[in-house]
């Protein structure tokens, strides 16, 4: 028997929780599905903080300009304006809901990060900002009696009928069997796809399933080639690539090569505070020049007392590996971190498929362009999560759930899924390696073409839903990267190292359709 609710939110990061609260506050029944515990998301791992205009020496115009510069000519100005102007209101609301950002003498503390012209980054508990925001939002969501949080419910596909998304198919966490859940609208807040790469700062849940589900349902995907690699992930053999926050360089951290030399001056006049894509490429170039697998982040000019208070989680994690961030040089190298591309949406979270909305890293709103400005992601999740919830509510005012039942033919088609594959681990491992080696920080036609051939060969196997999604996403990123014959933001082509004005357009991919381009991400429905 199929289940029903008014609205389905997939994902419990900042975007998902904020959209759920927006819906429930209007009296709607909301079911939040997440494939892990409710607090497990990319949001929880966001260390550096959230960028917002609240300090006396800052204004929305400066924040907007910094975002546009970082985006390398591909930001949507209207989306950026929406982010920076509405962001202040939503951060103040978070504070009213009990979010405890760090303060000194009762005043909010702001820090500096790369490519920001002002100290506008709020943080919580030093380097656990995302975790604190999730805590406050989960508490707020649980206060709404109309919100049902359903952890360990893995969504497998979207239900589409008459060219409208009408629900989802998910794995019931108790019965361990497929179930259907119908709703007036579905809001995807499933985060990014950092796990596509062999080396990533993202948690294990960041496999891009939401993007793949939207693609297979017929929604348009935009700018999939733009992947941001964080410059400084802790590089220790047999250890996960733990993120060493951008804020560490903002507080004065210096990058050194194996000879102890500060090298960023050879690549960019902004030194360690250059945009992430430039710092990442500079590190790769320096590693190649010196024949090493890492460089070093030097925080030794700062006191141990300050570092322990400012970066408590990083301090304790490094300590587990016998590293003292106040005394030792920290071995670092780049790792995949954030997807600028994703489900194409308008300024209200509407995808190109009716009934399907999206917010957060799963989307491409035009806010980030070709390269996300540090600490804009949490703000995007808040602002556009709320906007997506409000739009879904308004757009579905006249809908009746009784019209959303499946036909027998649709139910039989739903059960005709690919068989579970026994090669899931091998498939994922191979895709991650190919993505890192051939669709990584430095790209060219030959490596991208070879990657696409390999993905097509893997896709011919009888794969499970999750493996099919994983390979499909890898193919979308590689296809976009092969098409874009220029270097811009997070996308760098060795064979096309210059930015080209004729490529100042967005790549749009849709199932069973050729690649197309658009001058704008946002669209009119």
Residue 47: is its pLDDT beyond 90? no
pLDDT, one tens digit per residue, over 351-410 is: 999 999 999 999 999 999 999 998 999 999 999 999 999 999 999 998 888 776 655 445
Cα distance between residue 301 and residue 434, in whole Å: 39
Q: What is the pLDDT of residues 457-494, one digit of tens each?
A: 999 998 988 899 999 999 999 999 999 999 999 999 99
Q: Which residues pair with 187 in a beta bridge?
A: 9, 357
pLDDT grade for 296, boundaries at 50, 70 and 90: very high
Task: Note the helical H segments in 147-275.
Answer: 209-217, 246-250
Half-sphere exposure (CA, 13 Å, Cβ side) for 293? 5
Confidence of residue 44 (pLDDT cuts 50, 70, 90): very low
Please give the pLDDT value at position 510: 98
Answer whether 397's CB lies under 8 Å from 301's CB: no
* pLDDT at 524 exceeding the cut of 80: no
Q: Checking DSSP bridges between strand 30-33 and strand 7-10, what pairing results, if any?
A: parallel
pLDDT at 35: 83
Q: Say what the pLDDT of residue 400 is.
A: 85
Kindly tell me if the per-residue pLDDT of 1 is higher than 60: no
Please state the pTM of the whole predicted model: 0.92
Active site residue ranges: 276
For residue 308, count CB atoms less than 10 angstroms from its CB and return exposed for 0-12, middle for 13-18, buried for 19 or more. middle
Q: Residue 2's pLDDT is what? A: 72
pLDDT for the residue 215: 98
Question: What pLDDT, on a 0 to 100 scale, did the predictor assign at position 172?
Answer: 87
Nearest CA among 390, 405, 400, 376 for reference residue 159: 405
Region 315-341 average pLDDT: 96
What pLDDT score does 405 carry? 62
User: Under the phi-then-psi rule, with left for phi > 0, alpha for psi from -120 to 50, and beta for the rest, what region is 483?
Assistant: alpha
From residue 364, alpha-carbon distances to 29, 135, 478 in Å are 27, 26, 17
Q: Which residues pair with 496 in a beta bridge?
A: 493
Predicted confidence (pLDDT) per residue in 412-421, tens digit: 444 445 556 6
E-assigned strands of 212-355? 221-222, 227-234, 254-256, 295-298, 330-339, 342-344
112-150 residues labelled b (16+ CB within 10 A) or e (exposed) = bbbbbebebbbbbebbbbbbbbbbbbbebbeebebbebb
Q: pLDDT tens for residues 305-326?
A: 999 999 999 999 999 999 999 9
> Which class for 4: exposed (0-12), middle (13-18), buried (19 or more C-beta within 10 A)?
middle
Q: What is the mean pLDDT of the chain?
A: 91
Structure tokens at 311: 């970066």
Give residue 301's pLDDT: 97
Over residues 142-159, the pLDDT tens digits come to 899 999 999 999 898 999
Look at residue 421 in the predicted model and tell me its pLDDT: 61
Q: What is the pLDDT of residue 487?
A: 97
Closest to 23 measured CA to CA, from 388, 376, 337, 343: 388
Output b/e per residue, 59-80; b: 16+ Cβ within 10 A. Answer: ebebbbebbbbbbbebbbebbb
Length of the chain: 525
CATH number of 3-222+340-404: 3.50.50.60
Query: What CATH fold (topology level) applies to the domain 230-335?
Result: Flavocytochrome C3; Chain A, domain 1 (3.90.700)
Is the pLDDT assigned to residue 207 strictly greater than 50? yes
What pLDDT band is residue 48 in, cutting at 50, 70 and 90?
low
CATH topology for the 416-498 domain: Methane Monooxygenase Hydroxylase; Chain G, domain 1 (1.20.58)
Per-residue confidence (pLDDT) for residue 412, from 0 to 100: 45
Is the pLDDT at 295 greater than 90, yes or no? yes
Phi/psi-derived region of residue 498, left when phi > 0, alpha when psi is between -120 and 50, beta in every other case: beta
pLDDT for 413 equals 46
Task: Please report, for the chain, the start and end positions of each structural domain, with discontinuous segments joined by +.
Answer: 3-222+340-404, 230-335, 416-498
CA distance 109 to 283: 30
Least trusted range by pLDDT, from 81-95, 204-218, 375-389, 419-433:
419-433
């Amino acid at each position: 028997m199929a289940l029903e609710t008014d609205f389905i939110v997939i994902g419990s990061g900042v975007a998902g929780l904020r959209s759920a609260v927006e819906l429930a506050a209007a009296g709607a029944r909301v079911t939040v599905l997440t494939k892990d515990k409710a607090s497990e998301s990319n949001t929880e791992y966001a260390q550096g903080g959230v960028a917002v205009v609240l300090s006396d020496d800052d204004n929305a115009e400066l924040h907007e300009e910094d975002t546009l510069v970082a985006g390398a000519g591909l930001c949507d100005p209207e989306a950026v304006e929406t982010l920076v102007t509405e962001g202040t209101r939503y951060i103040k609301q978070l504070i009213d809901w009990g979010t405890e950002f760090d303060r000194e003498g009762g005043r909010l503390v702001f820090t500096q990060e790369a490519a920001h012209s002002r100290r506008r980054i709020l943080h919580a508990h030093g380097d656990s900002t995302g975790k604190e925001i999730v805590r406050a939002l989960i508490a707020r969501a649980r206060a709404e009696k109309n919100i049902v949080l359903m952890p360990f419910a893995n969504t497998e596909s979207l239900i589409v009928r008459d060219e409208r998304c009408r629900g989802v198919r998910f794995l019931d966490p108790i019965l361990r069997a497929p179930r259907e859940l119908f709703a007036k609208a579905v809001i995807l807040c499933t985060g990014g796809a950092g796990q596509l790469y062999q080396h990533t700062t993202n948690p294990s849940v960041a496999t891009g399933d939401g993007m793949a589900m939207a693609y297979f349902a017929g929604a348009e995907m935009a700018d999939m080639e733009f992947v941001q690699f964080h410059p400084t992930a802790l590089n220790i053999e047999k250890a996960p690539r733990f993120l060493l926050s951008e804020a560490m360089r903002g507080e004065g951290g210096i990058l050194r090569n194996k000879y102890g030399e500060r090298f960023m001056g050879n690549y960019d006049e902004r030194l360690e505070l250059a945009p992430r894509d430039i710092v990442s490429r500079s590190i790769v170039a320096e590693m190649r020049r010196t024949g090493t697998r890492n460089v070093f982040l030097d925080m030794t000019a700062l006191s141990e007392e300050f570092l322990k208070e400012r970066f408590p989680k990083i301090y304790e994690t490094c300590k587990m590996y016998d590293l003292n961030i106040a005394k030792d040089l920290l071995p670092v190298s780049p790792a995949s971190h954030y997807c600028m591309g994703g489900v194409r949406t308008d300024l209200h979270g509407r995808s190109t498929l009716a009934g399907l909305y999206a917010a957060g890293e799963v989307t491409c709103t035009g806010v980030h362009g070709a390269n996300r400005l540090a600490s804009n992601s949490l703000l995007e999740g808040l602002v556009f999560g709320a906007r997506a919830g409000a739009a879904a509510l308004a757009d579905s005012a006249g809908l009746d759930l009784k019209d959303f039942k499946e036909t027998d033919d649709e139910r039989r088609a739903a059960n005709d899924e690919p068989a579970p594959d026994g090669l899931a681990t091998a498939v994922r491992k191979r895709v991650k390696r190919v993505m890192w080696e051939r669709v990584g920080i430095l790209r060219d036609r030959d490596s991208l073409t070879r990657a696409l051939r390999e993905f097509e060969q893997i896709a011919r196997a009888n794969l499970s839903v999750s493996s099919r999604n994983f390979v499909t996403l890898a193919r979308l990123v590689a296809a976009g990267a092969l098409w874009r014959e220029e270097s811009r933001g997070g996308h760098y082509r060795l064979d096309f190292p210059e930015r080209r004005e004729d490529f100042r357009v967005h790549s749009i991919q849709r199932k069973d359709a050729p690649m197309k381009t658009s001058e704008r991400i946002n669209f009119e429905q």
